[in-house]
Chain A
Amino acid sequence: MTKNRTFAFLTVALLAAVSVVCPVFAQEKQSPLETVSGSAEIGVRQIWGDVYGRPDLSFKPLLGTSGFNQYRALTNGFFLPKFHFYSENLFGTNAYADVRGRDGLLRDQSFSVSVGQYGKYKAQFRYDQTPHIFSNTARTWFNNPAPGVYTLPSLVRSTLNKATSAATPGLMQGFLADARLIDASLRRNTGLVSFAYTPTDEWKVAFQYSRERQRGLRPIGVHYFASPSNISTEVPEPINYNTQEIKAGTEFAKKTWGVQFNYLGSLFENNVGQLLVDNPFYPTQTVSDYTTYAQMDLYPDNNAHSFNFAGAADLGKYVRVMASITPGIMRQNDAFLPATTNTRVVGMQPLPESGLNGKKQTLAMNYTATSRPVQNVELTAKYRHYDYNNETASHEFSTVQADSATADHGPVIHENEAYGYNKNSAEFSGTYLFTKKNLLKAGYEWESTDRQHRDVAHTTENSVFGLVDLNPTKMVNVRLSYRHSNRDPELYENTEDAQMIGTRRFDESARTRQVAEARLDFTPVEKLTFGATYGTTQDDYDRPDANAPLVNGSPVVYGLLKDIGYNYGFDVNYAATSQLTFFGEYTRERYKTRMRSRQRNFPVTVANDTANNDWTSSSNDNIDTYTTGLDVYLAKKKVTFTSYYSLSDARGSIFNRALGSGTITPFLVTAIVDYPDTTNRLHQVVSSVKFRLTKSISPKFEYRYDQYDQVDFQSGRMNPYMFAVDSGTRQMSYLGADTPSYKGHALSATLEYHF
């Protein structure tokens, strides 16, 4: 029996024991106030279906490990969908106990146990398991003798080492045919205890401790040569994390003022700190170009602590001021791995420190004042300061990419830079209720950002916004809003090595943003509501500055130029009778981005770094979502029938175009093509019927159907060997991780017992 099942059985046994003992105890005490109530649902389920769309695979991916169960555990057999036990006035006191559970005996089970006294105390324990499946087609040819260590048999390595270029594909294909399936998934198990105490109406203290354990495997790429284009492989990254979190706080509040103090501590621990992966092609170190094994650093242990001081006070009858100050600190000091394991690399400097001793200090300060000088006008002023101060020391590191030293790759000296930033913003807004239920809101926001070691040292953004909320009749509600923002960098200077002059990164460059939304709710009768929404967000980055390069005499921006999204939707809710409720919804979304780039072949020279090698790309994502459902109550609500259907239909395309001409030299953009269209459609159907046989017994039958159809040029052809798709991957191996299409059915019969 697995630990989960043992835990679940213990919980159920405890629940059963308490259910029996408490009423008996109550009778012994002869207290008429003691109450015990609750419910338990048990059932059986059968799942069946098909995983399809990958006829090229030599095996059949399983439904249970497909996207059908991405974050859940629909499995065959016995399960406990939910249970609830509640007792009040326990043992003649005014304390209560509340025990709840969901999906018992399954990988996604969760439980909570609470005891307390309303308005006084509450002690709670919660436990939750959340699975996350990444892929059910991932395979590896590596052995895994220890966590994070991946090896290959010597014979395989020496055979590949001696193989000619022409023979390698055949050999690789043969070796990878025996790759074993891995469980590319993750599970988070979280336990949490909390305790809150309210000694007086004015004072409250609270404490919470949680520990999350993450275990699983996730695909990750590793390399053995300076350019990963040469030799690389994909292996399962072991996830072995523990995260502990402590929250403690207290609050004291009177009727017109209050203060809060809170502490939050988070400790992250990665139990597998590095990957060691054999190089399939180089079993011995003979040259400096290649390493015999790759060493990769995984996420380092870290910890973060923050304190929050908050307070609010009413200054007279019309003004309230609020403040929140949150200083925080983040630290990390994992021991550095060696810069290279390649013994043939010469000229490496020793590591400047044994660990980073990384330290960041943050400070968030928010001040708000709001006032109602007259009954129908509210004025609000907000000021926010956020400081992300990176105090990590900078050092020079002798670096080699992927343990390889070649003439143009290294070792090279790089200095780590302590990125930090600082934001200040102020907002002024006013709301005017021109009638009791019609309002107008308008405001202005200013934001200033300073960044260290980035392309832009200082930006300023100014925004104006307005909103009108109209209720012309009881039946109609209309809301219209608009926001216009303008972000201006003081001076854009490209700081990244070899970055093209003229590139403007979208998070710090000039931007004009327009956001508009409209919403209509129409309720002709109480039981019927129609709704309609429209929204658009339009970001325009195509605003050349004085330093922008000239193309045909005009300044041009490189990077993201436009990011535009539109959406609209309709919905209807109808409670036809007390026996029938219905809803239907439809939304359409369109997202478009357009960017401009330049092909700059290495080494970049004046001759080939020309606008004739410019290219542009447009990405489009179109999504339609349909949802409908109904609840039907029959036989005086003794029978409930529910049916639900949803479809999320997404289509994506990426168009690429060369902007130059093949008649002019140099013209390098010869390989440009559009990417194949992608689609993913997720259908979900749920139908259930529940009978209330007696006041305490309710059987339920539920049928669930999910269908996911995917066409994706990025993952849909993934196999451990991709030579047929890209001959440049002759010495590369993958896991072949994909999430293929599936159809899944789940039929369950459950019995709910109320007591």
Chain B
Amino acid sequence: MKRGTCFLFILIFLVGAVCAFASAAPAKAKPAAAVAGGGYAGSDTCVSCHADQQKRFKNTEMGKIFANPRSDAEKRDCESCHGPGQAHVDAGGGKTGILRFGKDSGASAQEQNAACLDCHNKGKQMFWKGSQHESLGMTCVGCHSMHSERKPSQLGEVRFQESLANEHRYTKDSQVELCLSCHKMKRAELQRSSHMPFREGKMNCGSCHNPHGTPNPKQLHQATVTDNCVSCHAERRGPFLWDHPVVTENCDNCHKPHGSSNPQLLKTRQPRLCNECHITARHPTQPQTVNNKVFNRGCTNCHSQIHGSNHPSGNMYLR
């Protein structure tokens, strides 16, 4: 890394850090007082029975935010998610009179999610409603665990190293394991010899997809598949003098992003992949024996600029 870039990184980081420190309020010894009344029992009442949950929750990121509440909802502490608890208290506890989460909840997925969406209806969750996962009745707590930070299992770690960039530590399992628990065939694809650095923890499902929903196809972060791919492979973005239209339109036309048993994540081995579209004259149309158009990288031995060429004589993607 060049010295100038290093300096820029450090400068931006320090400015951010100084801002954070400068504005940080003095630490408080106690969480803000929980609000009672209007059907609310107040979190002190909750803690009298659920001390263990409170102890774990206050160490979570959300618990720490609630310790310095920014809104009325956050001041309600336990009841900001579980709803007014006075009826539950009056009933002497039990499973009624309070919103409970998870498989044993009497509430529907929509009712459970509404408690979360009361605050989390923005940011990455803005497009949750109407999204693929929402329409299938998935609940937030199906993936997220609010009361304690996940402790990665050794088994999970050896299967898929977790990306350091993944900071979602309040999920029930690592992000990869969570997604693969439903998308089971993707798990097999990720085991292939030709793969992206997924098993090695350099990327994860969230690198390309937003499971909370996006307006884009396949819940991708970017507007198209190609935009998503060129966010890491920027050299293939172009515009080129000689664009290869099938490349420009969708990388998935030739590649399988989750893994392939063919080289370069290809759907079909070369030269057959290219033969599927090109029946011109000369060599492409011959069912070649194993020769210089078949071995090594097949057609791209010569047509090496297959993603696009900027050479004035590169109309055949040769240079």
Contacts and interface: CB of A to CB of B under 8 A. Distances in A.
B319 A222 contact: yes
A402 B192 contact: no
B20 A599 contact: no
Interface string A566-589: 010101000000000101010101
Contact of A397 (B216, B277, B315): B315
B296 A734 contact: yes
Contacts of B193: 67, 648, 650, 680, 682, 708, 710
A72 interface: yes
Contacts of A734: 296
A193 interface: yes
Nearest to A116: B20
Contact of A589 (B10, B24, B188, B288): B188
Contact of A93 (B26, B184, B253): B26
Interface in A78-94: 88-94
Nearest to B296: A718
B45 interface: no
Interface in A609-665: 615, 617, 619, 621, 623, 625, 627, 629-631, 640, 642, 644, 646, 648, 650, 652, 654, 656, 658
Interface stretch (B33-41, B49-57, B64-72, B91-99): B64-72
B291 to A, nearest CB: 4
Contacts of B77: none
A195 B9 CA distance: 11
Contacts of B224: 364, 386
B245 A453 contact: yes
A644 B159 contact: yes
Contacts of B243: 390, 419
A751 interface: no
A543 interface: no
B1 A675 contact: no
Contacts of A310: 126-127, 215
A533 B292 contact: no
Interface in B1-36: 1, 5-6, 8-10, 12-13, 15-17, 19-21, 23-29
A81 B110 CA distance: 42
Interface in A518-576: 519, 531, 533, 535, 558-560, 567, 569, 571
Contacts of A370: 129-130
A117 B19 CA distance: 10
Contacts of A593: 268, 272, 276
Nearest to A110: B164
Given A93-B27, A710-B193, A200 B70 contact: yes
Summarize B's interface: helix, strand, loop or mixed: loop
A168 interface: no
Contacts of B302: 221, 223, 228, 232
B121 to A, nearest CB: 7
Nearest to B313: A399
Given A95-B20, A118-B61, A120-B23, A72 B200 contact: yes
A722 interface: yes
A386 B224 CA distance: 9
A266 interface: yes
A483 interface: no
A115 B20 contact: yes
Contact of A123 (B16, B159, B290, B291): B16
B299 to A, nearest CB: 10
A326 B20 contact: no
A320 interface: yes
A401 B316 contact: yes
A15 interface: no
A644 B110 CA distance: 38
A693 interface: no
A621 B8 CA distance: 49
Interface string A456-475: 00000000000101000010
Given A191-B9, A255-B118, A297-B311, A671 B287 contact: yes
A496 interface: yes
Interface stretch (A52-60, A174-182, A279-287, A355-363): A355-363
Interface string B198-225: 0111100000000000011000000110
Contacts of A597: 275, 279, 285, 287
B248 interface: yes
A311 to B, nearest CB: 8
Nearest to A275: B319
B239 A392 contact: yes
Contact of B135 (A211, A322, A380): A380
Given A93-B21, A268-B234, A380-B135, A644 B155 contact: yes
A457 B245 CA distance: 13
B135 to A, nearest CB: 5
A234 B242 CA distance: 22
A414 interface: yes
B312 A717 contact: no
Interface residues of B, number: 132
A487 interface: no
B144 interface: no
Contact of A642 (B158, B197, B318): B158
- Chain A binding surface SS class: strand
Interface stretch (A42-50, A140-148, A157-165, A298-306): A298-306
A747 B76 CA distance: 52
Given A122-B20, A386-B224, A598 B285 contact: yes
B229 to A, nearest CB: 13
Nearest to A687: B158
B250 A507 contact: yes
A682 B246 CA distance: 32
Contacts of A497: 280
Contact of A94 (B28, B245, B262, B305): B28
A421 B249 contact: yes
Interface in B267-319: 268-270, 272, 275-283, 285-298, 300-302, 304-305, 309-316, 318-319
B130 A320 contact: yes
Contacts of B311: 296-297, 336-337, 339
Contact of B312 (A95, A336, A585, A680): A336
Given A351-B312, A625-B188, A331 B239 contact: yes
A217 to B, nearest CB: 14
A384 B216 CA distance: 9
A486 B135 CA distance: 24
B236 interface: yes
Nearest to A340: B313
B34 to A, nearest CB: 17
Contacts of B13: 113, 123-125, 193
A192 B218 CA distance: 27
B187 A585 contact: yes
Given A228-B318, A454-B245, A722-B292, A368 B164 contact: no
A266 B1 CA distance: 18
A601 B235 contact: no
B38 to A, nearest CB: 18
B277 A506 contact: yes
Contacts of B191: 625, 627, 646, 648, 682
Contacts of A170: none
Interface string B78-103: 00000000000000000000000001
A336 B319 CA distance: 12
B202 A71 contact: yes
Closest 4 CB pairs of A and B: A123-B16, A358-B239, A366-B215, A650-B261
24 contacts: A108-B200, A108-B202, A118-B64, A130-B202, A221-B297, A296-B305, A332-B240, A356-B240, A358-B239, A369-B130, A399-B312, A431-B135, A439-B136, A439-B137, A441-B135, A499-B280, A559-B276, A560-B276, A569-B188, A571-B184, A581-B153, A671-B289, A680-B193, A729-B291
Given A201-B71, A323-B215, A726-B295, 5 more contacts: A95-B24, A100-B164, A368-B215, A386-B224, A505-B277
